[in-house]
Amino acid sequence: MRRNLICSPFLAGAPLLAGALLLAGALLRAAGVCAADAPSGAFVLHPAQVWSADGKAAHAGWSVVVQDGRILAVGADGSVPTPTGAHRIDLPGTTLLPGLMDIHSHLFLHPYNEKLWNDQVLTEPVAYRTLRAARQAQATLLAGFTVLRDLGTEGADYADVSLKQAIEDGLYPGPHLYVATRAIVATGTYGPLPRGFRPDICCTPQGAQEASGVPEVIKAVREQAGRGADWIKVYADYRWGPGGSAQPTFTQEELNALVMAAHTSGRPVAAHATTVEGMRRAILAGVDTIEHGFDGTEELFRMMAARGIAYLPTLTAQEAYAQYFEHYVPGGGASNELIENSARAFRLALKSGVTIGCGSDVGVFAHGTNYRELEWMVRDGMTPVQALLAATAVDARILRKDGELGQIKPGLAADLIAVPGDPLQSIAAVEHVSFVMKGGVIYKQP
């Protein structure tokens, strides 16, 4: 999944010495290419404190040793083994923590106040959207988010599979990606067609793959899996009811078949669901995560907790919608129904004991500002520690990658970031990530 050697197209096959990397890092970044590490690169990181996302407090005076792209040791300064030739990196005044994760993203979208969703899907060629997505992946990584689960290209076909490959091949800097490709919607329920268009228009690009009936949903799962989907994304409800109201989309039978087909292939299912009935059907079908859940009830969250279904609240998306379409001014003091409803659901979810991860729906708002979701989770009732856990160890567990990512622990991938001060006291510190390492490669340093 990860490679030790990551370099620019010009440097392919010619690993730089780690020392040269440190000196050249800023230049490489300025040129918009990624850095390269020597396969044997070793580093000793000295922050003011280390927070490992293992349920314990932060440790002052600890250092982290990285070798060959993995964490070799963590412990008090002087007590950890230092490989010969290891490069010392001082990060004074910072907290070192695992790379952050946002497991509900859309790299192939950009904010709707720049261009409405319909216009992006209908007018932007897939090639343009892919180039843009690569740029947005870089912004995400430099903001300290080393993992994304990208939940649908929204009309850009299977381009996320190629973007993921290009990042893994070292052609572009970006987070580890887990992708969902086209996503699956019930016929006629999503967009751009048919709502708002004359009925004799057909065959425009669609925001997701349409399916109806058990054979078609099974076929859609198999097609997407075959073309590289890591997760299957399904819309269990959408705003296709009378007057644009949100209503369930698939029947219970269709959803059951979809989940069965996905699980048969070894792939988990993420369900978009905002309504009570959409959530209930998704839960009964046995999906693995529920996205949004804005109308979620205590009973539904308890059902999710009992069945091990995780919740991704996407609180920031609601703020963005309120801003774009309801004249909401952030920090302006006025209340907004969308924001209040998502906060209500979040508090119920917290109380119910359901697993809550960090997933923001970024793409609706600007890539590289994913940190807003952590700030919202704290505003709506989590402690900073809970929010940071959601965006590290908990997200890793939801992704079934907790043996690989999400903590500072020997043997795990060296995905590490530093922020000034103490994010465990003030979550806003995550806005100012000063150091980023992914897979033992430095992408940003003070």
Residues that bind Zn ion (CB under 5 A): 361
Cβ(130)–Cβ(165) below 8 Å = no
Phi-psi region of 242 (alpha: psi -120 to 50; beta: other; left: phi over 0): beta
In this complex, which beta carbon is closest to Zn ion, that of residue 107 or of residue 441?
107
Tell me the residue length of the chain. 446
In this complex, which beta carbon is closest to Zn ion, that of residue 361 or of residue 380?
361
Q: What is the 3-state secondary structure (H, E, C) of 257-308?
A: HHHHHHHHCCCCEEEEECCHHHHHHHHHHCCCEEEECCCCCHHHHHHHHHHC
Tell me which H or E stretch contains 238.
Answer: strand 237-238
In this complex, which beta carbon is closest to Zn ion, that of residue 109 or of residue 259?
109
Query: Which residue's CB comes closest to Zn ion?
Result: 361
Report the nearest approach of Zn ion to the CB of residue 151 (Å): 5
- At a CB cut-off of 8 Å and minimum separation 6, what does 71 contact? 64, 65, 408, 409, 410, 411, 412, 413, 414, 416
Strand partners, 209: 184
Report the nearest approach of Zn ion to the CB of residue 148 (Å): 12
Report the nearest approach of Zn ion to the CB of residue 272 (Å): 7
DSSP symbol at 362: B
Instruction: Tell me the two tokens of residue 412.
Output: 């795990």
Report the nearest approach of Zn ion to the CB of residue 416 (Å): 28
In this complex, which beta carbon is closest to Zn ion, that of residue 38 or of residue 317?
317
Report the nearest approach of Zn ion to the CB of residue 143 (Å): 19
In this complex, which beta carbon is closest to Zn ion, that of residue 33 or of residue 271?
271
Report the nearest approach of Zn ion to the CB of residue 314 (Å): 7
In this complex, which beta carbon is closest to Zn ion, that of residue 25 or of residue 175?
175
CA neighbor of 373 nearest in space, from 316, 416, 320, 327: 316
In this complex, which beta carbon is closest to Zn ion, that of residue 361 or of residue 395?
361
- At a CB cut-off of 8 Å and minimum separation 6, what does 335 contact? none
Cis peptide before 111 (omega within 30 of 0): no
Cβ(367)–Cβ(140) below 8 Å = yes
- At a CB cut-off of 8 Å and minimum separation 6, what does 36 contact? 5, 6, 7, 8, 11, 15, 16, 21, 28, 170, 441
Report the nearest approach of Zn ion to the CB of residue 158 (Å): 17
Report the nearest approach of Zn ion to the CB of residue 438 (Å): 24
In this complex, which beta carbon is closest to Zn ion, that of residue 43 or of residue 112?
112
Report the nearest approach of Zn ion to the CB of residue 113 (Å): 17
Instruction: Tell me the two tokens of residue 16.
Output: 């730089």
**CA distance linking residue 164 with residue 269, whole number of Å:** 19
In this complex, which beta carbon is closest to Zn ion, that of residue 361 or of residue 415?
361
**CA distance linking residue 270 with residue 264, whole number of Å:** 15
